[in-house]
Amino acid sequence: MIKKVSVLGAGTMGNGIAHVFAQNNFKVNLVDVSQQQLDKAIDLINKNCARQISKGSISEEIKKQTLENITTFTSLAEGVKDCDLAIEAATENIELKLKIFKQLDEAALSDCILATNTSSISITKIASVTKRSQNVIGMHFMNPVPVMKLVEVINGFNTDKKITAEIIELSKQLGKVPCEVNDYPGFIANRILMPMINEAIYSLYEGVAGVEEIDTIMKLGMAHPMGPLQLADFIGLDVCYSILKVLHEGFGNPKYAACPLLTAMVNGNALGVKTGEGFYKYEKGNKNLIVSKRFIK
């Protein structure tokens, strides 16, 4: 029975994962190498709870309980020593993840489940550095975690079916909808999403249509809440690029090669929302979508 959860990494995803578990009355140890990130995460959880109160979705009491359920740590060994489940949501870097899983394997209880929120790194590869590959699984939450219902549950090559069943049940307890998939490049979400984004970028690159036209066609024609170019800006063009690279290398199929325009934008540091410009321009305080000058004829 999972009661105590450690979340490693207190960035965008880690703070959301900690929030959702704590709100559902799990004890949460939130671990990060940076005290500043931990402070920022608690502040953000506080603000997000206040927003939930203003929308009437939670009470003051639940907010208080959520914050009380979270303890922060800068030491991994301290933060994971008594948990039933550790979810790694640290920076997407294979060397870093392998290092963390080696440490986790040594510091966590022998029956602790080790999960990763990776978007693109092989679960089986991550599990291979532990002595418990049957207990290692992917738990891929979507951003923003408190809002998005999906959890992609990814079986590594050696993941025990009992562990999968436990993680599926746990995801339901959080009010999420789990979907079980197997560990192949991009899993399902990114295997389908990234080629669509890449194709949208190719369409722009080849001059088939402009930024607004491409996004409007996909929004109004396919009922997508956001067009693929705007979504790419939100995800970060560097992240899209590196996931395409995983698909390209993993399948050895040129259909996954990044569009030259995407490569140019990544090299030019036009990464989307995080750098203030991608396909659109993002200005503080301006909520209107403004197409980047580069793409206006």
Ligand X SMILES: NC(=O)c1ccc[n+]([C@@H]2O[C@H](COP(=O)([O-])OP(=O)(O)OC[C@H]3O[C@@H](n4cnc5c(N)ncnc54)[C@H](O)[C@@H]3O)[C@@H](O)[C@H]2O)c1
Choices 117-125, 153-161, 207-215, 250-258 (CB under 6 A): range interacting with ligand X: 117-125
Stretch that binds ligand X, among 116-124, 175-183, 202-210, 213-221 (CB under 6 A): 116-124
Q: Does 90 bind ligand X (CB under 6 A)?
A: yes
Q: Quick one: which of 297, 209, 206 has its CA closest to 259?
A: 206
Select from 25, 75, 91, 253 the one that contacts ligand X (CB under 6 A): 91
Q: Name which position in 44, 53, 67, 96 contacts ligand X (CB under 6 A).
A: 96
Those residues whose C-beta lies under 8 Å from the C-beta of residue 186, and which sit 6 or more positions away, are 120, 192, 194, 243, 246, 247, 250
Query: Which range of residues in 138-146, 157-165, 193-201, 289-297 is near ligand X by CB under 6 A?
Result: 138-146
Active site residues: 119, 140, 152, 190
Binding to ligand X in span 26-85, by CB under 6 A: 31-34, 37, 76
* Candidates 43-51, 122-130, 136-144, 168-176; binding stretch for ligand X (CB under 6 A): 136-144
Nearer to ligand X (CB atom), residue 203 or residue 238? 238
Task: Determine the 3-state secondary structure of 141 from DSSP.
Answer: strand
Q: Under DSSP, is residue 180 helix (H, G, I), strand (E, B) or coil?
A: strand
- Report the Cα–Cα distance between both ends of the chain, in Å, rounded: 59
Name residue, tokens 């203030």.
Answer: 276
Determine the Cα angle at 140 with ends 137 and 143, to 5°.
Answer: 160
Minimum distance of ligand X from residue 78's CB (angstroms): 12
9 contributes a contact to ligand X by CB under 6 A:
yes
In the bound complex, which residue of the shown chain has the CB atom lying closest to ligand X? 11
User: Residue 241 has which token pair?
Assistant: 């690029």
Angle among Cα 232, 44, 88 to the nearest 5 degrees reads 65
Residue of 5, 6, 7, 14 interacting with ligand X (CB under 6 A): 14
Q: Under the criterion CB under 6 A, does residue 100 sit at the interface with ligand X?
A: yes
Indicate the pairing of strand 70-73 with strand 27-31.
Answer: parallel
Q: Which is nearer to ligand X, 61 or 95 (CB)?
A: 95
197 binds ligand X (CB under 6 A): no
Q: Are 246 and 185 in contact (CB under 8 A)?
A: yes
Q: Shortest Cβ distance from residue 132 to ligand X (Å)? A: 19
Output the smallest distance, CB 255 to ligand X, in A.
Answer: 22
Contact residue for ligand X among 2, 4, 12, 212 (CB under 6 A): 12
Helices (H), the chain: 12-23, 35-54, 60-68, 76-80, 94-107, 123-127, 161-173, 189-205, 211-216, 222, 228-235, 237-251, 260-267
| Candidate residues 24, 29, 118, 198; the one interacting with ligand X per rule CB under 6 A | 118
Q: Is 139 in the site for ligand X (CB under 6 A)?
A: no
CA distances to 14, 156, 204, 214, 293 from 289, in Å: 28, 40, 17, 14, 12
Residue ranges in contact with ligand X by CB under 6 A: 8-14, 31-34, 37, 76, 89-92, 96, 100, 117-119, 140, 142-143, 235
